[in-house]
Structure 1
Amino acid sequence: MRHVSVSTGLSDTDLLPPRFGDWFAARGWRPRPHQLRLLALSRARENALLIAPTGGGKTLAGFLPSLVDLAERPKQGLHTLYISPLKALTYDIQRNLEMPVNEMGLGLTLETRTGDTPQSKRARQRRNPPNLLLTTPEQLALMLASRETLEIFRHLRAVIVDELHAFADSKRGDLLALGLARLAALAPDHRRVGLSATIADPDRLARFIGLEGAEATVVRGPPGPKPDVGILRAEGRIPWAGHSARHAIPDIYRAIQAARTVLIFVNTRSQAELVFQELWRANEAALPIALHHGSLDVERRRKVETAMARGQLRAVVCTSTLDLGIDWGDVDLVIQIGAPKGAARTLQRIGRANHRLDDPSRALFAPANRFEEMECLAALEALASGEVDGPDGREGGLDVLAQHVLGVACGAPFHPDELYAEVIRTEPYASLDRATFDRVVDFVATGGYALKRYERYNRLRETGDGRLRVAHPRIAQQYRLNVGTIVEAPMLKVRLRGGRQLGEIEEYFIEQLAQGDTFIFAGEVLRFEAVRETTAIVTRAPGAEASVPSYMGGKFPLSTFLAEKVRRILADPGAHPGLSDQTLQWLRIQNWRSVLPRPDELLVEIFPRADKFYLVAYPFEGRLAHQTLGMLLTRRMERMRLRPMGFVASDYALAVWSLRPVKDVDALFDRDMLGDDLESWLNESVLLKRTFRNVATIAGLIERRFPGKEKSGRQMTVSSDLIYDVLREHEPDHVLLRATWADAATGLLDIRRLGDMLVRVAGHIRVKRLERISPLAVPVMLEIGKEPVYGEAMEDLVREAADDLMAEASLLI
């Protein structure tokens, strides 16, 4: 791996044409060394990965070689393709690029192409592409599936991938890597540039962005000043549980009043709606505060983004829709409500404030409960020491590969030998064996052994020369309607009666509502009136009490990196001066009543309460792993005749309650639960079917959309369940079932992380048998009742009331 410093050894005039040098000088700027280094690498036709902090001029560094090349040698057609993870980012980059293009009179065409681009404009871009096109991985896949693919990309000279770290360990990254490999076959002379924030493993990204299996040269920009980050000290009592941060709203509002513009990040869309409502209640000065998340109508989101760019807003409550790359110089404060879940994500969000290289970013954490305060402190300490977490790495998804194979066939017939050689040059699929690849191609062509008798799954035909093509034009049409790897819960449009569309909300949430029920959405209290086809009709209900919509997606897992740091804080809270007096007192009493576990220990507390016995464990491995652990523990306890009644899990802890106490804790947590126990549970569980539905949708086995209509969530579930049962019975080693297990291991069930935890704590389980609830157990006990277990004692289950638990807990603290 070749890493280079930012020093080029060349003067500006050696690299920059006079027109560009004059432009920099007119603005009072000097090109930064890393910008010149990328220009030098481009002249040598070398691929590059630029790692630089937010505000370091990464975007201009990426585009500068293309602008210089087009100025020196004007070309027709698509010269540079820019790919970003967010639609909002493409519009922002377009705004920023138009300035140098217009001021230097370069005469270039510059356009965006996203899911919001009208079909007529997309068709025109295929026939007459601009010089620079800004797009997303999904739109790249659509262009590659076009019959005009060769014509579109025949002049391509550069590909720029922004925020590359956001792609590397996701299925969108798999789709992007496969798309880049196709571009390499279509336009072998183009070069690539990856732009990334600070990451833990730059070599892996260099392999990702490299061409023909060769790694890109890593260029590091200057680190910039350390961010100014603190934890908001709210005047109110810090809750033991919950995620609303209502106690901190007055303090957050005062911080907004003291700043120019504030980005307020939350981790879920429902939390965004709630925080926005709470801030408006506190907004006595009528400050312009807006809301931004992925379910809002696109026009509404664009208005917010435009107002931010113009400096017309004082604050925006937002989710991850705005945590990448947007260049808003007036943002001088970022507030993260709730725990950040990862150090790299924290750094990314903090970088949205003071989007300039020489100014430190300012940020505040607003923890919603006491465990989150420890997590916020862990992130703070990681930032202070310059540590960054990163994902563990993953192999490319077979479902994404199936989608890509079909997309390639939609563009032109392909030969499996040539496509396999192309696929294994990508970083995610470098270790893919030929037998698995052939099975994926066979699935795309016929559906596989169990499904090939059904005509609808026969999607490819041989051409006679060993190549494969799509069997019918409608298959290509269906592919284009269903491309992409983001499978959200089925959505319904939300429209005011007689008025405009407000956005989309999950179908299952609307199904729970009766006519007249109210809910919060798009920053308003709405009354549900009816569902008409795929639209929920609502009316405004200002002042009414409302429930808060819940979304299936958007919950970040607690990173392994931060989890380990939280365990260290818990083991020795006195060594971490950033903890509040309330949290320190809570932990001191925990140490007196029970124990504070060492970082390498798993604390398990067992105590009686209300004629039941409770087992509370503190693995700190994230909600997904804990939920899987809870289901496996209750199955094992059922066999032990302990009569388990239920469990509840948080990011930090797991509580299980039963009618008889656990005697042998080590046997209960033995790693062999990931064998037969796991398999038998999954055979009975709907969770694996839910995972299969997502995999089958991405692979194109189940279409979300048909020409002129869209499937309901219930229709998709019935279809996927039927196919799942057929494959389980007749082809249990089907590639989609393999893909489902792989997703379950790292996604919905987090089996891999659970297995690592069981190995880590083997021989290090510390059991404390107590007379009553411990202070550390209070937060997870407040959530009891959310995960019932249908065992022999189900009829004895009595839901615990939160007020009783709080009354009991108040005697302790």
Structure 2
Amino acid sequence: MSTLPAQFDAWFARRGWSAHPHQLDMLDRAQDPATLLIAPTGGGKTLAGFLPSLVELTGGHQGLHTLYVSPLKALAADIRRNLRRPVEEVGLDIRIEERTGDTPALQKKRQRADPPHILLTTPESLALLTSYEDAAVTFAGLQRVIVDEIHALAESKRGDQLMLALARLQTLRPELRRVGLSATVEDPGRIAGLLARHPDPCHILHADPGPDPDIRMLQTEDPPPWSGGGAKYAIPAVLEEVKKHRTTLIFHNTRAQAEIFFHNLWLANDDALPIAIHHGSLAREQRHKVEAAMLAGKLRAIVCTGTLDLGIDWGDVDLIIQVGAPKNVKRLIQRIGRANHRYNAPSKAILVPANRFEVVECVAALEAARAHELDGDPAGRGPRDVLCQQILIAAAGGGFRADDLYGEIRSVGAYADLSRAEFDACLDFAATGGYALRAYDRWQRLVEDEEGVWRLRDPRAAQRIRQNIGTIMDSELVKVRMRGHRKPLGEIEEDFAATLTPGDTFLIAGRVVQYRRILEQVVEVTKTNKRKPKVAVFGGTKFATSTQLSQRILRLMHQPIWPELPQHTADWLMLQREVSQMPTADRILVESFPHDGRAHTCVYGFAGRNAMQTLGLLLTQRMDQEALMPMGFVSTDYAVLIWGLEQVADPAPLFQRDALRAGFETWLSGNMVMKKTFKVSAVVSGLVDRKAAGLRKTGRQTAFSTNILYDTLRKYDPDHVLMQITREEAMKGLVDFGRIEEMLARTQGRVDHVIHDRVTPLAAPLLLEAGRVTVDSAAVTEKLLAEEAEKLMQEAGL
């Protein structure tokens, strides 16, 4: 094992520290092509990643030596702040700078010609840097790249874009070494394969994981409600926990739920504890104000969402509260790590189920966390819309030969099996727009010169390409501003703003405001004393319960007794077992019962919210074809409840795989999901600009242009590469059809049908769920009219 150079050893000694074994191991591995370090929060993971760079830089270096990439701009700022101390105290002559969307333009320009020794950036800013013709100058001395929180990038298009950018850097600097850092990795081999240049190996280092977290479920006097996600019932108990601790982060899965909970928490905050709210729809100034107060230790509680998930040291946080079932064990562990940011000190966390079923899910998540079983989906192929953008970036950077770029892209693990035909189709699309669009001059973007180099047809197009780099799709948001003030409170979705009339109230930034008007894409509001607002429809992610957690829930429900569950929930499940039966992993349970004059069918699929919503659409379609006259449905992560005019006698035929697949194809081809997915892929691939002349288009402007293009391609070129990409993305996105196919595969057509004379215990909460979907059926309308006519005639004595 390596020993520290004398000046670093002295620095550790002055602070009363000694280097951790994994930090010294990173020095040993400093020359490896790729290294993945998995270390717990508070274990000196960041210093371990930078230590080889700092040691190498003591010998002097011209230009950029180390590039650090993180998912968050705030994380880059935090790392710079934390790195400055060892650099200054060891006495190193090292320049450390950030380059993000917030960096001034003059500094960005200077960094390209005179980069610092260590540059801290984000995937988008790195992609932009590689798009300049002087990229070879900027990266001339680059030795190492450190990717922080790599697990968070591994599951998104941002990660795919980052790895394509690293492949471009490797072309410029063949000896470039790669380092990945993470605290929560469910499949180290998969992440290592993502980090390394394919097919190069990647060494995996595991640090001592430290003590298990202190994690439990909140006990309250009142049981959780049967449905809903607000957890208002738990406010008194949560406040008591906040009072016992220095700083508490209260996580929610969606921004709207965070706003509701913060509003209720504020109303119950009789002791005037300093509390705040933090999420992605708040104005930047609002978020920075909250972050500064957290770092200064001035806040007792912060209601938040995924914006505080990642590895920033947010001051003296000693308790994490997760409101609502975590849906994903890996996300839960990541959030727990925000507490007690110290090595060998257990993090403390409390789970708060929002409704009765979430009690079961929280217990299952607790068991998985204690067993160190993280969840995660298998790696998919690299998305081709990101590939199309990368081709345009390479063209803006001075051009490329097709053979060379194809080889470079295939060095990225996610694109290792990309066929030449697929690459050529993407190249043709980037160059001409594809068959149906090549007649339009605006999509004639690339030309191949006599030497076989693909270049921009018009060099001025490089600016437009750079303005539109990135894979993050902003929601269609409009700013909210208090009348008479210049600074915005935050943003709400355009569709929600369109439903408001003067006098309506809604929640934003933890306060109730009253809508006055919308002017130039800004919603103008005033203060109000009303306490019951509407709730803004924020663009936060609605998580679906993971496959692994769903399977654990099924196993838990099938136990003979449930000593780990609160008595009220155990009694509920026992009653379900007595009057019906419990769902199992290898069979689909279908219950039929009458309620409120309608026939109800409840299907337990445990495939996650998006998949169960899609299953509801497909089953009602099938039922309509079979003259079963469905009227509507509602879905959750574990079941879909359908009501209609006819009882299902034999549900098994409804689940025939080929019929469901055919119905899905028909439904998807004419559904708005395809248009929404097409819009995203059209923007990411570079077909449609999100910015024009430096100004960002509104969501409605983008939707209008992409809808026209979608209809055109669907009619005249249905096999266009972007239509292929759209279908691939739709299958794994909002509709999550893969989870339905997984459900059909594990059940193999085995269906248990229970017919009951009343609502079953497990189905009852679904009758209280929001988000009902109405089925438009001519047969249902005709029958209801006939029944109404019959009643009227009977009343008339006819």
| TM-score for the superposition, normalised by structure 1 | 0.94
Residue in structure 1 matched with residue 109 of structure 2 by the alignment: 123
Partner SS state of residue 718, structure 1: helix
Q: Match for residue 520 of structure 2?
A: 533
2:451 counterpart of 1:459: no
Using the alignment, how far apart are the partners of 2:532 and 2:117 within structure 1?
A: 53
In structure 1, the residue matched to 2:24 is: 36
Greater Cα shift, 628-637 or 202-211:
202-211
What does 1:631-710 correspond to in 2, within 5 Å? Answer: 631-710=617-696
Q: Is the 8 A contact 2:296 2:315 kept in 1?
A: no
**1:254 Cα deviation (Å)?**
0.6
Kindly state the Cα deviation for residue 232 of structure 1 after the two structures are TM-superposed.
0.3
1:529 corresponds to which letter in structure 2?
A: R
Match of 2:589 in 1: 603
Alignment partners' CA distance in 2, 1:234 and 1:585 = 17
Q: CA deviation at 1:329?
A: 5.2
Deviation per residue, 1:299-348 (Å, 9 max, x gap): 22122222222222111111111111112351111000001111111111
Which residue is equivalent to 1:20?
8
Correspondence 1:342-357 to 2 at 5 A: 342-357=328-343
Secondary structure class of the residue paired with 2:537: coil
Q: Identify which of 517, 522, 526 aligns with 2:504.
A: 517
Q: CA–CA distance in 1 between the matches of 2:515 and 2:683?
A: 30
* Other-structure match for 1:549: 536
Q: Which residue of 2 aligns with 1:51?
A: 38
Range 326-335 or range 611-620, more displaced = 326-335
* 2:56 aligned residue (65, 69, 88): 69
Partner amino acid, structure 2, of 1:60: L
Deviations 1:691-721 (A, max 9, x none): 1111111111121221243322222222111
Q: Which whole-Å deviations, capped at 9, do the CAs of 1:187-229 have from their partners, x for residues lacking one?
A: 2222111001232211121122113531211111001101110
1:81 equivalent to 2:81? Answer: no
Q: Which residue of 2 aligns with 1:369?
A: 355
Identity of aligned residues (%): 49
Establish whether residue 189 from structure 1 lines up as the match of residue 175 from structure 2.
Answer: yes
One-letter amino acid of the counterpart of residue 259, structure 2: E
- C-alpha distance in 1 between matches for 2:775 and 2:681: 27
Q: CA deviation at 1:117?
A: 2.2
Tell me, yes or no, if the aligned pair for 1:81 and 1:159 is still in contact at 8 Å. yes
Give the whole-Å Cα distance in 1 for the aligned partners of 2:350 and 2:765: 23
CA spacing shift, 1:690–1:319, aligned 2, 3 Å: same
Contact 1:571 1:599 in 2 (8 A): no
Partners of 1:85 and 1:710 lie apart in 2 by 22
| Separation (CA, whole Å) in 1 of partners of 2:580 and 2:508 | 43
Deviations 1:97-131 (A, max 9, x none): 11111211212111222222232332222232221
Superposed CA RMSD in Å reads 1.6
Task: Report the AA paired with residue 424 of structure 2.
Answer: D
1:404-803 to 2 correspondences below 5 Å: 404-499=390-485, 500-572=487-559, 574=561, 576-783=562-769, 786-793=772-779, 795=781
Q: Distance in 2 between matches of 1:528 and 1:559?
A: 38
Shift in Å, 1:619: 1.0
Q: CA deviation at 1:579?
A: 1.1
Structure 2, unpaired ranges of 5+ = 785-798
Specify the alignment match of 1:220 in structure 2.
206
Whether the 8 Å contact between 1:174 and 1:400 is mirrored in structure 2 is yes
Report the secondary structure of 1:331's partner residue: coil
**Aligned 8 A contact 1:291 1:318 in 2:** yes
Further displaced range: 393-402 or 687-696: 687-696
Residue type at the aligned position of 1:571: H
Contact 1:110–1:133 (8 Å) recurs in 2 = yes
Rounded Cα–Cα distance in structure 2 between residues aligned with 1:774 and 1:797: 27
How big is the shift at 1:607?
A: 0.8
Unaligned runs of 5+ in 1: 1-7, 799-813
Is the contact made by 1:519 and 1:526 (CA closer than 8 Å) also made in structure 2? yes
Contact 2:589 2:752 in 1 (8 A): yes
The Cα shift of 1:439 comes to: 0.4
Q: What does residue 359 of structure 1 align with?
A: 345
Does structure 1 residue 378 correspond to structure 2 residue 364? yes
Confirm whether residue 285 of structure 1 aligns to residue 258 of structure 2.
no
Closer, same or farther in 2 for the Cα pair 1:773/1:539, shift >3 Å? same
The equivalent position to 1:236 in structure 2, one of 217, 222, 236, is: 222
For 1:541 and 1:134, how far apart are their aligned partners in 2?
43
- How far residue 468 of structure 1 moved from its aligned partner, in angstroms, is 1.2
* Matching residue within 106, 122, 146 for 2:132: 146
SS in 2 for 1:664: coil
Matched residue SS, 1:776: coil
Q: What are the Cα deviations for residues 274-312 of structure 1, in whole angstroms up to 9, with x where unaligned?
A: 111111112112111111111111122122222222222
Is the contact between residue 89 and residue 326 of structure 1 (CA under 8 Å) also seen in structure 2?
Answer: yes
Report the Cα distance in structure 1 between the residues aligned to 2:356 and 2:460, rounded to whole angstroms.
55
Query: Does the aligned pair in 2 maintain the 1:329–1:353 contact within 8 Å?
Result: no
- Residue number in structure 1 paired with 2:793: none
Alpha-carbon distance, 1:785 to partner: 6.2
Shift of the alpha carbon at 1:783?
Answer: 2.4
**Cα distance, 1:474 vs structure 2:** 4.2
Contact 2:26 2:52 in 1 (8 A): yes
Alignment partner of 1:322 is 2:308: yes
Contact 2:63 2:116 in 1 (8 A): yes
What residue identity is the alignment partner of 2:18? R
Q: Distance in 2 between matches of 1:673 and 1:429?
A: 33
After superposition, the Cα gap between the structure-2 partners of 1:123 and 1:503, relative to the gap in structure 1 and judged at 3 Å, is: farther
| SS of alignment partner, residue 350 of structure 2 | strand
Structure 1 Cα separation of the partners of residues 237 and 658 of structure 2? 49
Residues 513-536 of structure 1: per-residue CA shift (max 9 Å, x gap): 112211101111111222222222
Task: Provide the secondary structure at the position in 2 that maps to 1:450.
Answer: helix
Q: Is the 8 A contact 1:646 1:787 kept in 2?
A: yes
Do the aligned partners of 1:645 and 1:797 also contact (CA within 8 Å) in 2?
no
Question: C-alpha separation between the residues in 1 aligned to 2:395 and 2:33?
Answer: 31
Cα distance in structure 2, aligned partners of 1:143 and 1:400? 17
| CA deviation after TM superposition for structure 1 residue 580, in Å | 1.1
CA contact (8 A) 2:588 2:751 kept: yes
> Compared with structure 1, are the counterparts of its residues 796 and 253 closer, same or farther at alpha carbon in structure 2 (3 Å cutoff)?
farther
Q: Higher mean Cα deviation, 533-542 or 246-255?
A: 533-542
Pairwise CA distance, 1:45? 4.3
Q: Find the partner of 2:80 among 74, 88, 94.
A: 94
Q: Verify: 1:391 aligned to 2:381, yes or no.
A: no
User: Number of residues paired by the alignment?
Assistant: 783
The whole-number CA distance in structure 1 between the counterparts of 2:778 and 2:323 is 41
Tell me how far 1:173 sits from its aligned partner: 1.1
TM-score between both structures, scaled by the size of structure 2: 0.96
Equivalent-residue separation in structure 2 for 1:126 and 1:540 (angstroms) = 47
| SS, match of residue 567 in structure 1 | helix
Contact 1:288 1:314 in 2 (8 A): yes
